[in-house]
Amino acid sequence: MHNNPFTQFGEWFAEAGRTEPNDANAMTVATIGEGGRPAARILLLKAWDEGGFVFFGNLESRKGHDMAAHPQAALLFHWKSLQRQVRIEGSVVQVDDATADTYFATRPRMSQIGAWASAQSRPLASREAFEARIKEAESRYEGVSVPRPAYWSGWRLTPDYFEFWQGIDFRLHDRLTFTRAGGDWQTGRLFP
């Protein structure tokens, strides 16, 4: 293991990109909701560096409301074929408009339309009602670029904790932790 958690993550993430059959960048994002209730969902990591881990979505969704009220989250990457997982915890901030605009422009057109059509996390009367909203958004932006909705952006999680888990036969797993102490990372091990 490296003494820098970002270096270690980079190596494992690259290997997962070569070996996982689908979406090596898929991660569980756990947030703290109303009354301290946890909520988790799968999102895709879209960028990362030593400044943090970036993902995108609807600010008016449950996750958006959770992170606005409680700006901390946990990420979990699980690469079953490699018998590895990485847990990352830290504080969350919304990305700037330029970052959100740049990423939104790279999304497939129907994903851009979907951002306008979906009132994410709110009750939906029927699938037909959603399909009507999709058609309306397609009509509104026919022949022009689809702009990013103001309620669609991204977040950057700045980690203060990493855990690297390597599966080993007979549940004799290896778990290495990195905890930020000031500007340095302190390493440790956990029993499996």
Domain boundaries, the chain: 5-105+151-190
Residue type, 49: D
21-25, 62-66, 78-82, 181-185: least confidently modelled range: 181-185
The pLDDT tens digits for 162-185 are 999 999 999 889 999 999 988 899
* More confident position, 183 or 133: 133
Name the DSSP class of 83. Answer: T
Confidence of residue 61 (pLDDT cuts 50, 70, 90): very high
pTM: 0.94
Closest by alpha carbon to 9, among 140, 148, 142, 164?
A: 164
Whether 178 and 5 have beta carbons less than 8 Å apart is answered as yes
Over residues 14-38, the mean pLDDT reads 96
Q: Is the pLDDT of residue 21 over 90?
A: no
So what's the pLDDT on residue 24? 97
CATH code of 5-105+151-190, in short, is 2.30.110.10
Residue 65 CB coordination number (10 Å): 17
Is the pLDDT assigned to residue 131 strictly greater than 90? yes
Angstrom distance (rounded) from CA 30 to CA 43: 10
Nearest-angstrom CA–CA distance, 17 and 21: 8
Of 109, 17, 114, 13, nearest to 57 (Cα)? 114
In the block, which residue shows the tokens 């851009």?
112
pLDDT over 90 (residue 88): yes
Distance CA 56, CA 157 (A): 11
Structure tokens at 36: 């301290």
Active-site residue list:
171
pLDDT of residue 1 exceeding 90: no
Which residues neighbour 165 within 8 Å (Cβ) at sequence distance 6 or greater? 84, 85, 86, 87, 173, 174, 175
- Supply the pLDDT for residue 16: 97
- Output the pLDDT for position 182: 85
pLDDT of residue 135: 98
When pLDDT is averaged across residues 9-22 and rounded to a whole number, the result is 96
In this predicted structure, the answer to whether residue 38 has a pLDDT above a threshold of 90 is yes
With H, G, I as helix, E, B as strand and everything else as coil, classify residue 51: coil
**Distance (Å, whole) CA 132 – CA 135:** 5
